[in-house]
Amino acid sequence: MSKRVPAIEYIRGLAMLGVVGIHTGAYSLANPDVNIHLFALLEIFTRFTVPIFFFVSAFGLFCQHKSDEPLDYGRYFLRRSRTVLLPYLIWSLLYMARASWLSGDYWQWSLPYIVEHFLFGLASYQLYFLVILIWFYLLMPLWRAMLPRILAAPVRNLTILLVLQIAFNYYSSYHVHADSDNYYIRLAFQHRMSYLPFHYIFIFLFGAVCAERLDDCLAFFNRHLQAIRLFFAVTLGGMLGAYYWLLLGEGYIPVQAVDTVHQLNPIGVLYTLAAAMFLVASFTRRPPSGNFAALLDSLSRYSYPVYLVHPLVMYYLADLLAAAGLAVTVPVVLFFYIATIAASLSFGVALERASRFQPLLCLLVGGAYQARSKNIPEPKKKAVT
């Protein structure tokens, strides 16, 4: 039976706030004089949130399927397909249909076009996460084979894996170029960050280790909390320092700086690790309370529908703001962010209620989501972020 860990649920909710923040940052660029400090908050401070979802997903996965227990792979993947693959295909079609409707080009739906969009998560900018997650699910036997070896000496082996991850990500991010004459090879290299799970192996397996050795990890985090806080502060400072240096010292524009200081560069990988340890330790020692706890709990519970629908909300909200003639100032950006979260949460609530009357519809657009209950996972089931 899966074990509910409140800190992990709070991290899921906080990460959802960060993901919406990242995508709000992209809309703030509509102002040529974008506030670089607000942009840093939306786009740099939040950079841990996408990879930390792999940490959370692996944690839930290995809480349910311990590496030393038998796994019925067929049944396991069928359940994951209902949760992730089916909604991914449906939402891809919805976003593709919207793009065709806006462009008026209904003849682009060739088989290669559809296959490319499905393989690389091209239908909407957030869907690549699900492509990578599906690959993680498909390769579950590999992770189960690796985990006992990592657990034999977790600190040493995770350190080695971290170094290899940083080296791989650095090479892939800055030294790989899609210059092949073969169209399909060029396409695979061009979109490598949108489907290859290898960019996130470390943080995924770190989540698996935390699930398998939860008590040991919590004790370790508690003993070294001051060092973890310092690690988090230093890596956050490194991310922000690199961003401001590129802007103010090298003449980069904000989008160029963010495209350079992202979660896959060396300091970004370390920042994600620091954030994972810091948040688990902090939320375990002193859980959030009051309205903030309620918000995180709701975002955690409805994280999957919020994740799927929030770009659609942003499209129409941006159109409304443009029609109203509102400049993209700091107050408007903050309103845009809050309104997106509120509308997306409302969609999640509506989906949950609709599941009582239209279970098939909710299965198609929300996977196995409708079977959740009050943030407490069922045996052998977990909502996907």
Chain segment 230-287, per-residue pLDDT in tens: 999 999 999 999 999 999 999 999 999 999 999 999 999 999 999 999 999 999 999 9
Residue whose entry in the numeric block shows the structure tokens 């791989």: 168
Note the pLDDT of residue 297. 93
Quick one: tokens of 177?
């170029």
Note the pLDDT of residue 282. 95
Dihedral pair phi/psi, residue 108, rounded to 5°: -85, -5
Span 328-364, pLDDT tens digits: 999 999 999 999 999 999 999 999 888 888 888 888 8
Average model confidence (pLDDT) for the chain?
90
The residues near 14 (Cβ < 8 Å, ≥ 6 apart) are 49, 279, 296, 299
Mean pLDDT of 27-31: 91
Note the pLDDT of residue 310. 97
Query: Does residue 285 contact residue 64 with C-beta atoms inside 8 Å?
Result: no
3-state SS assignment for residue 223 = helix
The residues near 8 (Cβ < 8 Å, ≥ 6 apart) are 56, 59, 60, 280
Query: Does residue 275 contact residue 48 with C-beta atoms inside 8 Å?
Result: yes
Span 65-90, pLDDT tens digits: 999 899 999 999 999 998 999 999 99
Quick one: tokens of 195?
């489907």
Mean pLDDT of 182-198: 88
Mean pLDDT of 292-306: 93
3-state SS assignment for residue 373 = strand
Pairwise CA distance, residues 286 & 266, whole Å: 30
- Residue 349: C-alpha distances to residues 90, 283, 363, 364 (Å): 19, 25, 15, 16
Mean pLDDT of 7-17: 95
Q: What is the DSSP string of 181-211?
A: SSHHHHHHHHTGGGT-GGGGHHHHHHHHHHH
Query: Does residue 265 contact residue 170 with C-beta atoms inside 8 Å?
Result: yes
Tell me the whole-structure pTM to 2 decimals: 0.91
Supply the angle between the helices 266-285 and 201-212 in degrees, to the nearest 10.
Answer: 20
Neighbouring CB atoms inside 10 A of 376's CB total 10
Q: Which of these ranges, 97-101, 105-109, 225-229, has the smallest mean pLDDT? A: 105-109
Amino acid at 335: F
The continuous run of DSSP H or E covering 278 comes out as helix 266-285
pLDDT exceeds 80 at position 378: no
Note the pLDDT of residue 214. 94
Pairwise CA distance, residues 270 & 230, whole Å: 12
pLDDT exceeds 60 at position 371: no
- Residue ranges per structural domain of the chain: 6-371
Tell me the percentage of the chain whose pLDDT exceeds 90: 77
pLDDT exceeds 80 at position 3: no
Note the pLDDT of residue 110. 84
- Going by pLDDT thresholds of 50, 70 and 90, the confidence category of residue 108 is confident
Q: What 8-state DSSP symbol labels residue 265?
A: S
Pairwise CA distance, residues 326 & 315, whole Å: 15
Tell me the percentage of the chain whose pLDDT exceeds 70: 94
Query: Does residue 312 contact residue 265 with C-beta atoms inside 8 Å?
Result: no
Dihedral pair phi/psi, residue 384, rounded to 5°: -95, 140
Mean pLDDT of 198-222: 96
Residue of higher predicted confidence among 180 and 129: 129
- Going by pLDDT thresholds of 50, 70 and 90, the confidence category of residue 377 is very low
Query: Does residue 199 contact residue 208 with C-beta atoms inside 8 Å?
Result: no
pLDDT exceeds 90 at position 177: no
How many residues are recorded in the chain?
A: 385
Query: Does residue 8 contact residue 2 with C-beta atoms inside 8 Å?
Result: no
